[in-house]
Amino acid sequence: MTHRCGTIGMTGRPNTGKSSLLNRLVGEKLSIVSAKPQTTRHLVTGILTRPGCQYIFVDAPGQQASAKSTLHRRLNRRATEAARDADVALFVVEALKFTDEDRMALERIPKEQRIVAAINKIDTLKNREQLIPFLDRLAKTRDFAAMVPVSARTGKNIQELLSALREALPEGAAVYPADQLTDRDERFFAAELLREKIFESMGQELPYRCEVVIDSFKQEGRLRRIEATILVERDSQKPIVLGAGGGRLKRIATAARKDMEKLFGGKVYLGAWVKVRKAWTDDARVLRQLGYE
Ligand SMILES: Nc1nc2c(ncn2[C@@H]2O[C@H](COP(=O)(O)OP(=O)(O)OP(=O)(O)O)[C@@H](O)[C@H]2O)c(=O)[nH]1
Ligand SMILES: [Mg+2]
């Protein structure tokens, strides 16, 4: 059997389940997930090594039709590059839902790029027949190497998706050791898990005004001691994140710490503070400092 190896850039509009799918494909929660769109901000690599094939998945932000802030324009650019620079683009759409935003996301993938389409969330369908006309219409939008209906939630058809992706990947030896799961470090995942809890516990708008910075990450024997700052854009947002008597921040930090302990397999101390960094989502200098080039 020829050995294959390559990168797979996850792409699509926000909220189609790209991060959920990455986690399901590699069998570990690497990329944060929320019911709100535009959760993912960073490229997250998830590596799956199987006999005969190494899959290097790259999760990316969702492509937004109307990017209002500098941050969102940077995220769109990041998403475009991830799909373009990969060996294969994995275009993730929701079953029975192909919107203008999906079309725009698809158009951002260069014409010559090889694309596999994953039609996600099929667990929500009443019957599978409903998919046939949808697949027919989707097939007319682009020349896909394959179209695979899947459910990131239940794991349905994940093996079929892996087979289709294998076919689309170039021949080559593995790039990473077989037991390596990601190229991101614990510091990165600590920040992401804290950001996920902010997305889960705050209202519609505030999560988009928040960013997490890890100020220090120390290993003390078996304990990981982590100090983090949550940046907000305005003074008025700070008390909202804190909640009455600091109760909300405490709940957010506790939930994040528990997830970190699960992922790292050891005790974590997490200190979290809230600071105002005025209009950071539109400040090119701050965005650069935060790693949004
Ligand atoms: N029913 C169902 N829901 C799903 C499935 N996959 C993802 N979801 C839900 O869809 C929502 C968005 O999931 P994400 O994985 O964060 O989506 P995303 O495409 O990464 O979103 P962005 O990072 O914002 O672009 C979450 O509420 C998930 O639980 C699925 O297969 N079935
Ligand atoms: Mg995501």
Sheet holding 4-11, edge to edge: 44-50, 53-59, 4-11, 88-94, 115-120, 146-149
pLDDT class of 1 with cuts at 50, 70, 90: confident
pLDDT score for 89: 98
Whole-structure pTM value: 0.95
Report yes or no: 59 and 43 within 8 Å, Cβ to Cβ: yes
Which candidate, 43, 30, 12, 64, places its Cα nearest to that of 262?
A: 30
Whether residue 17 has its Cβ less than 6 Å from ligand 1: yes
Joined tokens for residue 216: 């220090």
Over the stretch 109-153, which tens digit does the pLDDT of each residue have?
A: 999 999 999 999 999 999 989 999 999 999 999 999 999 999 999
Distance 80 CA to ligand 2 centre (A): 14
Q: What is the pLDDT of residues 210-266, one digit of tens each?
A: 999 999 999 999 999 999 999 999 999 999 999 999 999 999 999 999 999 999 999
pLDDT of amino acid 267? 98
Q: What is the mean pLDDT of the chain?
A: 96
For the chain, give the percent of residues with pLDDT over 90. 95
Distance from residue 16's CA to the centre of ligand 1 (Å) = 5
| Distance from the alpha carbon of residue 191 to the mean position of ligand 1, in angstroms | 20
